[in-house]
Amino acid sequence: MSFAIADTCFLIDWSSWRRRNLLFRLFTTVFVPETVLREVESEDVVEWIAGSLASGNLSLFTETPDILGEARHLVERTRLIPRVRGVDIPEAVCLVAGRRRGYTVLTENRGALMAASLLEEYRGVKVWRALEIIYELLRRRLIPAESPAAVFKEYEKETGHIFPKGDLENAVRRL
Partner 1 sequence: MQSEDYERKLARWIRLEEEARKIRRSEADWKFIEEQPARVKAALKYYVETGDIRTSSRMAEMSIDRFRKLLRQARIPVIV
Number of residues that bind partner 1 (CB under 8 A): 29
Q: What is the C-alpha to C-alpha distance for residues 112 and 107, in angstroms, rounded to an integer?
A: 7
Cα dihedral across residues 46, 52, 55, 57: positive or negative: negative
- Non-local (6+) Cβ contacts of 88 within 8 A are 75, 111
The CB-of-141 to partner 1 minimum distance in angstroms stands at: 25
Cβ proximity to partner 1, 118 vs 175, nearer residue: 118
Our finding on whether 19 is near partner 1 (CB under 8 A) is no
Our finding on whether 170 is near partner 1 (CB under 8 A) is no
Our finding on whether 117 is near partner 1 (CB under 8 A) is yes
State the first-to-last Cα distance of the chain, in angstroms, to the nearest integer.
24
Of positions 22, 85, 126, 132, contacts partner 1 by CB under 8 A: 85
Of positions 35, 108, 133, 151, contacts partner 1 by CB under 8 A: 108
H helices of 8-141, in order, are: 8-14, 23-26, 34-37, 43-55, 65-80, 89-101, 110-118, 130-139
The CB-of-42 to partner 1 minimum distance in angstroms stands at: 4
Residues that bind partner 1 (CB under 8 A): 8-9, 12-13, 39-42, 45, 83-85, 88, 108-111, 113-114, 117-118, 129, 159-165
